[in-house]
């Protein structure tokens, strides 16, 4: 039966986001290093809070997330009234696009930037604009050159996924200062906790009327399965996002576990230190086998191979041993593999397998 049922323009241009693989046919005991998850999982206090929440499952959750926002604000020295919590930072990214970008508007992201920026821009009917990077690092001048009177949002992950590189505070400030008046700079700090001494863009978002910072509990906090993220920005922007946000977007167990997690900064510090140690070790081990990577500031490294064919063969070799990493052809990096920094045993297995692979060629 013929009909005229069509989705909004842009939606059929969305390529489905694929999460990191978790299984290999015929191999048990796999190590999943494809989604930048924390190998140590969440704080014990977060697990306990999650279990306690079972007693309140018949109650609707909080709509204003006041307790979690207060905890986030205390830990980060921010204004709780300017924090918004979402179903992962993905939801915050989606709300920003929905509220600020539509048909005829442009949403800027970097060449090897996070795929969700493009997906949410298209979902809102806006036009995503990809800006070239320089040596797999964001190029602030190129971003500014891509901005015009149609630009509504500029997304920049710092450190970036999947490159692991970042730009300095001075560059971020310059970008924020020179943006067109109608544009918001969104600093995605999904990996900020992995960078000692970096505030994720909090001070800039606190000081400026055109900067929003997004953060997540999915990476260093080890709570990817719960889906909690947050944003911080100008009061006027947060107010707009709250109007669009579903009132019960976060469940009670998610809210309570996240609050306990953010209050356990010792767990965060331990995970940051162990990640830095193994990240350095892994990068050096692969470099010795002739597989270079840029200096990563996150919880993964982007291993570069000679070409796409070699990267694919290396991936197959790893997979056969139950080591699941991420192919990043969809990020314009078909000659690379993104490898999450796992625990020490996993890193040693990856290095050993890549050594075997390169030795056999």
Single out the residue of 151, 165, 210, 216 in contact with ligand PLP (rule: CB under 6 A): 216
Q: Is 89 in the site for ligand PLP (CB under 6 A)?
A: yes
Q: C-beta of 36: minimal distance to ligand PLP in Å?
A: 6
Q: Is 159 in the site for ligand PLP (CB under 6 A)?
A: no
**Of the candidates 295, 285, 291, which has an alpha carbon nearest to the alpha carbon of residue 347?**
285
Please give the backbone phi and psi of residue 266, each rounded to the nearest 5 degrees, phi first: -65, -40
Sole residue written with tokens 């010795």? 288
Q: Is 110 in the site for ligand PLP (CB under 6 A)?
A: no
Q: By C-beta, is 172 or 353 nearer to ligand PLP?
A: 172
Contact segment (CB under 6 A) with ligand PLP among 122-130, 211-219, 259-267, 271-279 equals: 211-219
Direct distance between the N- and C-terminal alpha carbons of the chain, in angstroms, rounded to an integer: 57
- Count Cβ atoms within 10 A of the Cβ of residue 157 and give its class: 0-12 exposed, 13-18 middle, 19 or more buried: buried
**Of the candidates 259, 264, 222, 260, which has an alpha carbon nearest to the alpha carbon of residue 41?**
222
Single out the residue of 10, 39, 61, 229 in contact with ligand PLP (rule: CB under 6 A): 229
**54: its two tokens:** 């079972």
**Of the candidates 334, 333, 315, 312, which has an alpha carbon nearest to the alpha carbon of residue 323?**
315
Q: C-beta of 201: minimal distance to ligand PLP in Å?
A: 13
Q: By C-beta, is 144 or 157 nearer to ligand PLP?
A: 157
Single out the residue of 31, 157, 238, 323 in contact with ligand PLP (rule: CB under 6 A): 157
Q: C-beta of 157: minimal distance to ligand PLP in Å?
A: 4
**Of the candidates 202, 172, 159, which has an alpha carbon nearest to the alpha carbon of residue 297?**
159
Q: Do the bridges between strand 106-110 and strand 83-86 make them parallel or antiparallel, or are there none, so unpaired?
A: unpaired
Single out the residue of 88, 94, 128, 233 in contact with ligand PLP (rule: CB under 6 A): 88
Count CB neighbours of 351 within 10 A. 20
Q: Is 278 in the site for ligand PLP (CB under 6 A)?
A: no
| Binding pattern for the stretch 177-206 against ligand PLP, x by CB under 6 A and - elsewhere | -----------x-x----------------
**189: its two tokens:** 């700090």
Report whether 342 contacts 36 (CB < 8 A): no
Cα 246 to the center of its chain, rounded Å? 22
Contact segment (CB under 6 A) with ligand PLP among 8-16, 67-75, 86-94, 320-328 equals: 86-94
Report whether 326 contacts 337 (CB < 8 A): yes
Contact segment (CB under 6 A) with ligand PLP among 87-95, 168-176, 198-206, 254-262 equals: 87-95
Q: By C-beta, is 93 or 101 nearer to ligand PLP?
A: 93
Q: C-beta of 190: minimal distance to ligand PLP in Å?
A: 4
Q: By C-beta, is 299 or 321 nearer to ligand PLP?
A: 299
| Biggest CA pair distance of the chain | 62
State which residue has the least CB distance to ligand PLP. Answer: 88
* Gyration radius from the chain CA atoms: 21
Q: By C-beta, is 226 or 240 nearer to ligand PLP?
A: 226
Cβ contacts of 149 within 8 Å, gap of 6 or more:
180, 182
Q: Is 114 in the site for ligand PLP (CB under 6 A)?
A: yes
CA atoms 307, 13, 34, 186: torsion sign? positive
Q: By C-beta, is 10 or 113 nearer to ligand PLP?
A: 113
Q: Is 151 in the site for ligand PLP (CB under 6 A)?
A: no
Q: By C-beta, is 68 or 351 nearer to ligand PLP?
A: 68
CA–CA separation, 45 and 101 (whole Å): 39
Q: C-beta of 192: minimal distance to ligand PLP in Å?
A: 10
Report whether 142 contacts 279 (CB < 8 A): no
Binding site for ligand PLP (CB under 6 A): 36, 88-90, 114, 157, 161, 188, 190, 216, 218-219, 224, 229
């Amino acid at each position: 039966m013929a009909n005229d049922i069509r989705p909004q323009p842009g939606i059929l241009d969305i390529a489905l986001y694929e999460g990191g693989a978790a299984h290999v046919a015929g191999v048990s005991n796999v190590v999943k290093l494809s989604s930048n998850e924390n190998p140590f999982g969440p704080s014990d206090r977060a697990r306990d809070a999650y279990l306690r929440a079972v007693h309140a499952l018949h109650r609707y959750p909080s709509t204003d997330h006041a307790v979690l926002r207060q905890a986030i604000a205390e830990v980060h020295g921010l204004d709780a009234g300017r924090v918004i919590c979402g179903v992962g930072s993905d939801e915050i990214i989606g709300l920003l696009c929905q509220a600020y970008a539509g048909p005829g508007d442009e949403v800027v992201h970097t060449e090897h930037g996070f795929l969700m920026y493009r997906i949410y821009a298209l979902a809102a009917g806006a036009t995503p604009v990809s800006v070239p990077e320089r040596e797999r690092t964001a190029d602030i001048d190129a971003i500014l050159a891509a901005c015009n009177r149609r630009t509504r949002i500029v997304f920049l992950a710092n450190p970036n996924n999947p490159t692991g590189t970042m730009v300095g505070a001075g560059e971020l400030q310059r970008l924020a200062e020179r943006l067109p008046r109608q544009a918001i700079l969104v600093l995605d700090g999904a990996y900020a906790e992995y960078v000692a001494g970096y505030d994720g863009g909090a001070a800039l978002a606190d000081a400026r009327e055109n900067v929003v910072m997004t953060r997540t509990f999915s990476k260093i906090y080890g709570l990817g399965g719960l889906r909690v993220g947050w944003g911080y920005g100008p009061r006027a922007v947060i107010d707009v996002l709250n109007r669009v946000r579903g009132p019960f977007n976060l469940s009670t167990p998610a809210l309570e576990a996240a609050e306990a997690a953010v209050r356990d900064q010792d767990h965060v510090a331990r995970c940051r230190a162990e990640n830095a140690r193994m990240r350095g070790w892994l990068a050096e081990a692969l470099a010795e086998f002739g597989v270079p990577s840029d200096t990563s500031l996150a919880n993964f490294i982007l291993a570069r191979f000679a070409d796409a064919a070699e990267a694919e063969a290396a991936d197959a070799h790893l997979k056969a041993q139950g080591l699941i990493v991420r192919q990043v052809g969809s990020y314009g990096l078909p000659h690379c593999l993104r490898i999450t920094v796992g625990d020490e045993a996993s890193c040693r297995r990856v290095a050993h397998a890549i050594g075997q692979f390169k030795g056999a060629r």
